[in-house]
Amino acid sequence: VFESFKDRKGSFKHELEQDVRGLLSLYEASFLGIDGEVSLHEARSFATSQLQPFLEASTKVARALEQPFHHSLAGFQARRYIQDCQDGEDCKHDILIELAKLDCDYTQSLYRKELWEVS
């Protein structure tokens, strides 16, 4: 699949270099493989190097490079999504924000209840 992002010389296409959303997707997808998949390692290296200039301009890029989606817990991702939306990132799905908030609130109340029971 990653070969479709490469040109005839085997290098990643230049038009990908300014597509931040595409680079983030490529970076996240590179974590779904198994050890030894060279194309996934190349994709991750390429995406990381191309995303570096966007670190200061985008908290989403900084967070993705700090903690990739597929190496994180769902609760942390929900909190990140809420925070991104509150920080003014592009959030088109209000229902997802509400569900993420409800999930965080529910989980927090469950933890409080469990803590109360053991103390």
Contacts of 84 by beta carbon, 8 Å cutoff, 6+ apart: 59, 60, 63, 91
pTM for this predicted structure:
0.61
pLDDT tens readout for residues 84-115: 777 776 677 778 788 888 888 898 899 999 99
Give the model's confidence band at 1: pLDDT under 50 very low, under 70 low, under 90 confident, else very high. low
DSSP 6-31: B-TTSSBPGGGGG-HHHHHHHHHHGG
What is the residue range of 100's domain?
73-119
113 and 80 belong to one structural domain: yes
CA distance 65 to 27: 8
20 and 39 belong to one structural domain: yes
For residue 22, give the CATH number of its domain. 1.50.10.130
Least confident span in 28-32, 53-57, 102-106, 111-115: 53-57
